[in-house]
Structure 1
Amino acid sequence: MDSRIKCATLPNMITRTAFLNPVVAAFAGFFMLAPAQASDLRLSDEVASLLEQLRDPDLEGWHRIERQLVRQWSRSGSASADLLLQRGRDALRRGDSAAAIEHFTALIDHAPDFAEGYHARATAWFMDGKVGRSIADLQETLSRNPHHFSALTGLGRIFEDLSEFDRAQKAYLAAEAIHPHRNDVKAALERLERRLGGITL
């Protein structure tokens, strides 16, 4: 989920799985996520490079890389879909989760392979108190974009709230493997390590 709300084909293409380290891959299997959509199996060189930079724990200026990734993931390739995404986000900022869900559902109907549509609707479901639906949409997000650190962080928060601490830890660890700079994730992992007696799953 987007923490700010609480969230061209190139010649040398790289498969998504090349970027799935063992923690992320194990987490994806843990949830038995649906197979990735065929249209979204590859990363552009730009996104691949941004992910590679973001994984560097010593990276300075990581906020800039994070923003660039979010911008890339927010581009559906359709002007009408992008407009629906923006309208839904505007509704979320107003606190109107019902309107946001309506816009995001229309977006998903229009662009069912667009991961960010599910991520945005997951945030709206969460705001509306529909935790189960939020989890389902976060899983849909990750089936299309397993590098989505905000979706993984959102799952961690939900599972922690539900006292599913082992699942929460797995989610946070997967998010940290992709994006090792977020203080909220580090704090959550420290909190869960204390709660789970220092056992790392």
Structure 2
Amino acid sequence: MRLWPLLLCLPVCLAGAVFADTCPDAPDHSAGLDDLIAQIQQAESEQEARVISNQMWAFWADAPDEQSQAILDRGMSRREAWDLLGALQDFDRLVEYCPNYAEGYNQRAFVNFLRQDFPAALVDLDRAIALSPRHIAAISGRALTLMGLRRLDEARDAMAEALALNPWLPERGLAAPGGPLAPPGQDL
């Protein structure tokens, strides 16, 4: 009869084990991001804008918990070392663990962009933007990915959206007169 109480506890214990690997919500940095977007739009120099942009990256790369932060950091280190397959494995794991964390999708998209797998990158960028509509890096990454797919009209629109949020983007030259994403008639 001693086994009976243990059997009653089994479903509760198993449910606890399943929920133990559930990713919490990502930190809400929307108010801080609003402030940084307003600041970068008023920035008077590229150097000033770069400092603000780095603060935005700190928000985007603030993962939901220690486990997801470790996966994100390892994947970014692997990507920086050009271990693209290792990075892709990490970001696949991050997206599986934290399906509502935009940066997991953005980073996986970046790896796929580097691999020139533009269709896969675009899917992840669309998901990142759906989760974080003002993720400037994902929006500009979407413009570059669409450019890689030779969908220039859509790329122009995405770059214009990104530049409206951050006029100091390093990619801004692509939309300048003579650039491939300049308004029609002003492009190459």
TM-score range, shorter chain: 0.7 to 0.9
Deviation per CA, 1:65-117: give whole Å up to 9, x if none. Answer: 11011001111230000000011011111111111111011111111111000
Asked if the contact 1:57–1:180 (Cα under 8 Å) also holds between the matched residues in 2, the reply is no
Asked if the contact 1:87–1:100 (Cα under 8 Å) also holds between the matched residues in 2, the reply is yes
Q: Residues 46 and 133 from structure 1, CA distance in 2 versus in 1: closer, same or farther, beyond 3 angstroms?
A: same
Per the TM alignment, residue 147 of structure 1 is displaced from its structure 2 partner at its CA by 1.1
Q: TM-score, normalised by structure 2?
A: 0.76
Q: Residues 104 and 193 from structure 1, CA distance in 2 versus in 1: closer, same or farther, beyond 3 angstroms?
A: closer
Per the TM alignment, residue 194 of structure 1 is displaced from its structure 2 partner at its CA by 5.5
* Structure 2 counterpart of 1:157: 144
Q: Residues 195 and 91 from structure 1, CA distance in 2 versus in 1: closer, same or farther, beyond 3 angstroms?
A: same
Letter paired with 1:76: A
Per the TM alignment, residue 128 of structure 1 is displaced from its structure 2 partner at its CA by 2.4
Asked if the contact 1:98–1:128 (Cα under 8 Å) also holds between the matched residues in 2, the reply is no
Letter paired with 1:78: D
* Structure 2 counterpart of 1:4: none
Letter paired with 2:44: D
Asked if the contact 2:74–2:87 (Cα under 8 Å) also holds between the matched residues in 1, the reply is yes
From 34, 39, 58, the equivalent of 2:44 is 58
Task: Give the CA RMSD over aligned residues.
Answer: 2.3
Q: Distance in 1 between matches of 2:29 and 2:165?
A: 15
Q: Does 1:88 align with 2:103?
A: no
Identity score, percent? 22
Asked if the contact 2:156–2:182 (Cα under 8 Å) also holds between the matched residues in 1, the reply is no
Instruction: Specify every segment of 5 or more residues in structure 2 that has no aligned partner in the other structure, as ranges.
Output: 1-24
Per the TM alignment, residue 154 of structure 1 is displaced from its structure 2 partner at its CA by 1.3
* Structure 1 counterpart of 2:174: 188
Q: Distance in 2 between matches of 1:136 and 1:45?
A: 27
Instruction: Specify every segment of 5 or more residues in structure 1 that has no aligned partner in the other structure, as ranges.
Output: 1-38
Per the TM alignment, residue 163 of structure 1 is displaced from its structure 2 partner at its CA by 2.3
Q: Secondary structure at the match of 1:53?
A: helix
* Greater relative CO (CA pairs within 8 A, separation 6+): 1
Q: Distance in 1 between matches of 2:81 and 2:30?
A: 34
Q: Secondary structure at the match of 1:135?
A: helix
Q: Residues 196 and 68 from structure 1, CA distance in 2 versus in 1: closer, same or farther, beyond 3 angstroms?
A: same
From 97, 108, 123, the equivalent of 2:95 is 108
Per the TM alignment, residue 126 of structure 1 is displaced from its structure 2 partner at its CA by 1.7
Q: Distance in 1 between matches of 2:156 and 2:101?
A: 27
Q: TM-score, normalised by structure 1?
A: 0.72
Q: Distance in 2 between matches of 1:56 and 1:99?
A: 39
Per the TM alignment, residue 192 of structure 1 is displaced from its structure 2 partner at its CA by 3.5
Deviation per CA, 1:120-144: give whole Å up to 9, x if none. Answer: 0001112223211100000011001
Asked if the contact 2:118–2:148 (Cα under 8 Å) also holds between the matched residues in 1, the reply is no
Q: Distance in 1 between matches of 2:50 and 2:57?
A: 11
Q: Secondary structure at the match of 1:55?
A: helix
Q: Looking at CA atoms only, which structure, 1 or 2, has the larger radius of gyration?
A: 2
Q: Does 1:68 align with 2:55?
A: yes
Q: Distance in 2 between matches of 1:165 and 1:111?
A: 32
